[in-house]
Amino acid sequence: MTAEAFKRQLEALAADYRRDLPEKLAQIDSIWRDLMHGAAQPDRITELQRELHSLAGSAGTFGVAGVSEAAAKAESFLDPYCARRKIPGLAEQAKFTTLLDALRRTAS
């Protein structure tokens, strides 16, 4: 196997990753909506952060660095809430929604 063969595989993996990105974002949106509307237990905020963390760690590797950075910002925002397993208050929810909007725009 050569670096050239890997480059070709990498391009294919990156294309798959970008194709699946909307689904990953939809999953993040779904958890966030459930949390905001009380349809999910507050401890699911750690699941939301894990999804964002996963995106922050993977997107840049697959060539979508902007998504990585936007996901990392949203992930960091949740740090204090995850530590307390607490859903952000209304004003903070609006800020977080803005971060998710920015993430979605970067990915599109």
**Residues 6+ positions from 66 with CB-CB distance below 8 Å:** 106, 107
**C-alpha count within 13 angstroms, C-beta hemisphere, residue 25:** 22
Query: Contact, 89 vs 81, CB < 8 A?
Result: no
Please select the residue that binds other proteins; options are 35, 56, 74, 107, rule is CB under 8 A.
56
Residue in 60, 82, 97, 106 binding other proteins, rule: CB under 8 A? 60
User: Which residues from 14-33 bind other proteins, rule CB under 8 A?
Assistant: 17
Stretch that binds other proteins, among 28-36, 56-64, 80-88, 89-97 (CB under 8 A): 56-64
- Footprint of other proteins (CB under 8 A): 1-3, 5-7, 9-10, 13, 17, 50, 53-54, 56-62, 65, 68, 72
